[in-house]
Structure 1
Amino acid sequence: MTAMEPLPSPPAQARNPLHGLTLEAIVTQLADHYGWADLGSRIPIRCFTHEPSVGSSLKFLRKTPWARDKVESLYLFMLREQKRYNAQLDNR
């Protein structure tokens, strides 16, 4: 590499935990982790509180950016929570 060549840039999404995940995978993992009732109390939107399903949730979340942002934020919170819990187990 000469002095005139630019340095290669790191992958843009290397540290993004949402990279490569589908919205379906996120909703499914949240529903499995929290259950629909708890998910509906954490994010009180109708697709989680009234006859919830992955399909109805995806339909709504794909059209509603603010709701999708809340779901993605809760997913990231869940990952941090799981990481902390696993770290506590490792330290025993």
Structure 2
Amino acid sequence: MNTPQAPQGPQPHSTDAPDGTSPVAAPSTTPEPTVAAPAPPAKQARNPLHGITLEAIVVALSDHYGWAELGRLVPVRCFQSDPSVSSSLKFLRKTPWAREKVESLYLFMLRQQRRNG
């Protein structure tokens, strides 16, 4: 007895285009209910460096301490020899350990300013 077998793989439906692709569905006229998306978690809520550029950090430190003191506190050549914001940014972006020291000094400066009012 011969039993017909189910066809294997995707078969074109009567609504498929001749080339086997599905036609684009017409937009629904029924408006979908508006559901407010949940607010993203505040991952950086307690991070004082969030949203502050490296340039802003370098400018704040150089204004607060001056280049000479900054070069003493973070002994890198970009702060000691012909210092500028642009040369400091180039160096700090390429040197993670120096950037961490600068960010740490910036956080220390912020804590001092909060204590002193």
TM normalised by structure 1 equals 0.83
Deviations along 1:67-88, one digit per CA (max 9) or x if unpaired, are 00000000000000000000xx
Partner of 1:39: 70
Partner of 2:98: 67
Q: Aligned with 2:82: secondary structure?
A: coil
Which of 13, 16, 19 pairs up with 2:50? 19
Q: How many residues end up aligned between the 2 structures?
A: 79
Partner of 1:3: none
2:115 maps to a residue whose letter is R
How far apart, in 1, do the equivalents of 2:69 and 2:100 lie? 18
2:105 maps to a residue whose letter is L
Structure 2 residues not aligned, in runs of 5+? 1-38
Partner of 2:83: 52
Deviation at 1:59, TM superposition (A): 0.2
Structure 1 residues not aligned, in runs of 5+? 1-7, 87-92
Structure with greater Cα Rg: 2
User: Structure 1: which 4+ aligned runs deviate by more than 4 Å?
Assistant: none
Deviations along 1:10-49, one digit per CA (max 9) or x if unpaired, are 4000011100000000000000000000000000100000
Cα RMSD over matched residues? 1.1
Greater share of residues in helix: 1
TM normalised by structure 2 equals 0.65
Q: Name the structure, 1 or 2, with higher relative contact order (CA <8 Å, separation 6+).
A: 1
How far apart, in 1, do the equivalents of 2:81 and 2:40 lie? 46
